[in-house]
Structure 1
Amino acid sequence: MSLTIPTNLSKSLLKPKLNSQLTPKVSRSLVVCSTDKTSSPPSSASPLQAFSAALALSSILLSAPQPAVADIAGLTPCKESKQFAKREKQQIKKLESSLKLYAPDSAPALAIKATIEKTKRRFDNYGKYGLLCGSDGLPHLIVSGDQRHWGEFITPGLLFLYIAGWIGWVGRSYLIAISDDKKPAMKEIIIDVPLATGLIFRGFIWPVAAYRELINGDLVVKDV
């Protein structure tokens, strides 16, 4: 009796070992991210450009009309006030009744028509720019320093101070300029127009000129 061992069985048993030994190992690569210290940062805006942009933005915000909000006790936005609308109708009605007394194309009639248009425009601007009205239907100015109401008092007040200071500075400069003249009192009565005109145009920068004289000690006359 003979026993035969198939040769293909031994081959199949060897293949898994050979395959496991010949399987390539996958290498893992490590990626490192780093920033370049030598790279130059993006150029930033100069301080002068930043200041100019901030100044322009603040001017736009201050000049733009703010929405009316009844944040003050006893006051309501004029465009929502019934007393304000009633007062407008009364004024226009009074002007229209006066208009009937004159011929349509006469000078008084034309003047009254122009006054009616100005009255309508004035009341419309009161409501458009967010003014607050009281129970009497009249606009009230808010002078508490609230930024939402700067356009009612702060901005016109600063403009008034600038114009008043400009006029005073020009007058002061004129008196100083004619002080060395032989007859300064005469030039106070009869204005030297060429001299005054030049001082008027130079007076627009009076805040800078006043500060410069303050630093130099020329703003105030020293006590003798």
Structure 2
Amino acid sequence: MRRLFALFLAIALWFGVMPATPAEASVLTPCKDNPAFIQRAKNAVGDQAKARFELYSQVNCGEEGLPHLIPDIGRGNENQFVIPAILFLYIAGWIGWVGRAYLIAARASGNAEEKEIIIDIPLAIRCVAQGPLWPLLAVKELASGELTARDNEITISPR
């Protein structure tokens, strides 16, 4: 009975009571038609600020005249949110993968504590050089089992 109720609740929450409303249907208006944005653009000082307002005039603004990003795929907003988000995740993964590779290589060398304090530049450059391929290396290590820990290596709290 509990599972049936949980299934019913999950389906009800999944479909929801309210229909999904696109972000453009809310209070957002094109910035070029927004009076508050136009006033802000008129008050802009300098060529760089005016160029920035010119670029922002192509996106949607709220009632206060400030541009809003719409994190929605398929509406022509890829350059506003999706592409920068993917690029951020790639760079963050690159940094994390390089740091992980350096720590693993330092541990294998025998004097890990010293290499964590005084960075071994040739080793760090080798780790950074493999960084751009981190998604492929992660898939390879996941498939081979190197990326995850075995069950007997995971400690369990006695509580």
**TM-score bracket for this pair, using the shorter chain length:** 0.7 to 0.9
> What displacement does 1:126 show?
1.3
Aligned residues: 130
Aligned with 1:214 (options 142, 145, 148): 142
TM-score normalized by the length of structure 2: 0.74
Answering whether residue 118 of structure 2 is matched by residue 190 of structure 1, we say: yes
The equivalent of 1:117 in structure 2 is 47
Q: Which has the higher contact order (CA 8 A, sep 6+)?
A: 1
Q: Are the aligned partners of 2:56 and 2:67 in contact in 1 as well (CA < 8 Å)?
A: yes
Q: Are the aligned partners of 2:44 and 2:50 in contact in 1 as well (CA < 8 Å)?
A: no
Change (3 A) 1:118 1:189: farther
Aligned with 1:89 (options 19, 42, 61): 42
The equivalent of 2:130 in structure 1 is 202
TM-score normalized by the length of structure 1: 0.54
In 2: Cα distance, 1:201 partner to 1:117 partner: 40
The equivalent of 1:76 in structure 2 is 29
Change (3 A) 1:168 1:205: same
The equivalent of 1:175 in structure 2 is 103
Q: Are the aligned partners of 2:101 and 2:127 in contact in 1 as well (CA < 8 Å)?
A: yes
CA offset digits 1:95-116 (Å, max 9, x no partner): xxxxxxxxxxxxxxxxxxxxx2
In 1: Cα distance, 2:134 partner to 2:109 partner: 24
What percent of counterpart residues are identical?
Answer: 45
Answering whether residue 82 of structure 2 is matched by residue 160 of structure 1, we say: no
In 2: Cα distance, 1:193 partner to 1:77 partner: 51
> What displacement does 1:72 show?
2.7
| Structure 2: stretches of 5+ with no match in the other structure | 1-22, 154-159
In 1: Cα distance, 2:130 partner to 2:77 partner: 33
The RMSD of aligned alpha carbons is 1.8
In 1: Cα distance, 2:94 partner to 2:117 partner: 21
CA offset digits 1:140-196 (Å, max 9, x no partner): 111244432222211111111000000000000000111022321111111111111
Change (3 A) 1:118 1:197: farther
In 1: Cα distance, 2:105 partner to 2:88 partner: 26
In 1: Cα distance, 2:62 partner to 2:144 partner: 51
